[in-house]
Amino acid sequence: MKHRKFVILFIVYSISFIILVSNATLPDELRTIERSLEFQTIVDVEKNDLFSIMANVEKYPLILPDSYVSVKILDKKDNYIIALETVKEAGIQTTFKVKHTFIQNESHEITILEGDAKNSNIVVWFTDYSVNKTQISIESNLQLKGIMAPFGFIPDGNFHHALNTILDIFIEYEENKINN
């Protein structure tokens, strides 16, 4: 009986060890979690105003203080910004090198150049819907590894809720700016 328990325990430990060693020695490409999401909503803000506030990358720590620790602009041209962005979510803080590419009042493309979400891409399209309303369309292709890998398992509904929350914060910030 003791011998049988020892054999079972040995097998469990051996399998666990093999899985851990295999995962630790796999190339990054094989440990990356890929995830694509699409999202559309209509908001009660004029397209140009919403684009303007969402393209103001330098103000992200002010607009989203619970998520953005800091933004350091590395390069800025008419249609793009490259920045080091330190973000925190669920107690996890990490820094990304990010390129923001803009087509004025039409789209904002976010590409992660360095970090545990390298090669992730998010595109936000801004479309006039009606007077003072904008349709927002978001398409994301996420490449998550390392500390970011667990975020790849979040259900779609939670991602959509998070996107709505972020949009609400940008809208509230824009409304406060207009009213002050």
pLDDT in tens, 116-128: 999 999 999 999 9
pTM of the model: 0.80
Q: Do 52 and 25 fall into the same domain?
A: no
Tens of pLDDT, residues 139-179: 999 998 888 887 888 888 888 888 888 989 998 888 777 66
Burial pattern 17-38, b for ≥16 Cβ within 10 A else e, equals eeeeeeeeeeeeeeebeebeee
Domain count, the chain: 2
Q: Do 95 and 14 fall into the same domain?
A: no
What's the one-letter identity of residue 172? E
Please say whether the beta carbons of 73 and 58 come within 8 A.
Answer: yes
User: What is the span of the domain harbouring residue 70?
Assistant: 32-179
What's the one-letter identity of residue 114? E
In whole angstroms, what separates CA 4 from the centre of its chain? 49
Q: Do 115 and 94 fall into the same domain?
A: yes
Please say whether the beta carbons of 84 and 96 come within 8 A.
Answer: yes
Structure tokens at 30: 């094989």
